[in-house]
Amino acid sequence: MSKLKNELENHLLTHILPFWMKLKDEQNGGFYGTVNYDLTVDKQGDKGGIQISRFLWSFSAAYRITKKPEYLEIAHHAYQFLVEKMFDHEHQGLFWLLDYQGNPKETQKHIYTQSFGIYALSEYYRVTKNEEALKYANTIFDLVETLGFDKENNAYKEEFDRSWNELPNDKLSENGVIADITTNTHLHVLEAYTNLYKANPTKIVKERITNLVEVFYEKIFNKETKFLKVFFDKQWNSLLDLKSFGHDIEASWLIDDAIKAIGLEDDRYVQMVIDIAYNIGNSHAILKDGSLANEQLGDKVDYTRVWWVQAEAIVGFQNAYERTKDEKFLQLVEHLWAYIKENIVDHREGGEWYWSVEPDGKPTERAVGEPWKTPYHNSRFCLEMIERMN
């Protein structure tokens, strides 16, 4: 394990974080929004709300674990841009997208974006004890609970316009359906609330986490197949026979993190966490080369190896090992890391990780930095593993 820990520390500090630090935009604030596949930086690329939140989380967490002051400096820079430009001081909440100069471009408020704001601001508060950051996190929490939660069906809503009128969920629907409820948004609300609770443990946040875990158990987790359902209508009817392998294994450890954080001792939930991990670990989603396929729609498997899916799977399997002591999970971790090093890590001069690798083994020619591709998934996988192996 110490060999793996050293490799991950080295990879994080010399490969992942330096790539993103170079994107600091001194002129307009935040970070350059786009790095093309050929590694050219588009200094006029748009800047996303999810993106800036993920920068803020990544560098705050990197400082919390490594104590390297240069990461705190980057976190301060990200925080300043988030609260000055990305936060809508007129209608509250975080914008979906700004142009490169920091002007609102797509003003929708998405609960997914708000979740990442809470997640990031909580992490920044954990390392700085900056009360203003906690205040912003709680403001967004209140928005999500008062405007973004549907009490009637016990579900978090998805998309709104700038002044918080509900819109169809275009931003987070795919595969030809418009979903009123998504597992993805619920997962990231859970992740955000867990971090808010770690930063500032309050009764109300604990209650909302408890409710969310129960929602996962009762509405999202399919107790027969052990997969998570993905898209729903307003009545929680599943809209598609879709299995998202990456979200499942990510959910396994994030749900576990939530129940540990609030001390929720319930065998049903622990069993769910373990069942999800075994289900993915034993399924046809694990490929011969050690990687994890992306998803399955009906009978059709998408064999693209997406960067974040591999990163989250390592943490999920490591967590499952800690829960079960089953060595099988350590082997899965080992094989995944070998695959990532060989195929997902971009070994070109100045590269980071490819977005994905095609079924034929070639890297996907897609931007390696953009509003969805940020330091968060792979820096978090390294930081989580380092913490766990300590």
Cβ contact 30:47 at 8 Å: yes
> What local confidence, expressed as pLDDT, does residue 374 receive?
98
> What local confidence, expressed as pLDDT, does residue 121 receive?
99
Q: Tokens for 292?
A: 């994890």
- Mean pLDDT over residues 258-281, rounded? 97
Distances (CA, A) of 240 to 14, 225, 232, 298, 355: 42, 15, 8, 8, 25
d(CA 188, CA 6): 29
The string of pLDDT tens digits covering residues 103-138 is: 999 999 999 999 999 999 999 999 999 999 999 999
Total Cβ atoms within 10 A of residue 335? 18
- Mean pLDDT over residues 354-382, rounded? 97
> What local confidence, expressed as pLDDT, does residue 176 receive?
83
Place of tokens 């490969």: 15
Instruction: Tell me the pTM.
Output: 0.98
Selection from 294, 175, 179 nearest residue 231 by Cα:
179
The string of pLDDT tens digits covering residues 149-158 is: 999 999 999 9
> What local confidence, expressed as pLDDT, does residue 40 receive?
98
d(CA 256, CA 51): 25
Question: Is the per-residue pLDDT at 2 higher than 90?
Answer: no
The string of pLDDT tens digits covering residues 340-361 is: 999 999 999 999 999 999 999 9
Exposed e or buried b per residue across 341-372, where buried means at least 16 C-beta atoms within 10 angstroms of its C-beta: eebbbbeeeeebbbbbbeeeeebbeebbbbbe
When pLDDT is cut at 50, 70 and 90, the band that residue 381 belongs to is very high
The string of pLDDT tens digits covering residues 232-262 is: 999 999 999 999 999 999 999 999 999 999 9
DSSP secondary structure letters along 176-203 = T---SEEHHHHHHHHHHHHHHHHHS--H
The string of pLDDT tens digits covering residues 284-312 is: 999 999 999 999 999 999 999 999 999 99
Percentage of the chain modeled with pLDDT above 90: 97
Selection from 56, 1, 50, 2 nearest residue 24 by Cα:
56
- Alpha-carbon dihedral of residues 138, 144, 149, 155, nearest 10 degrees? -100
Three-state secondary-structure class, residue 296: strand
Percentage of the chain modeled with pLDDT above 70: 100
DSSP 376: H
When pLDDT is cut at 50, 70 and 90, the band that residue 175 belongs to is confident
DSSP H or E stretch at residue 160: strand 159-160
DSSP 342: I
d(CA 254, CA 198): 13
Contacts of 390 (CB under 8 A, 6+ apart): 5
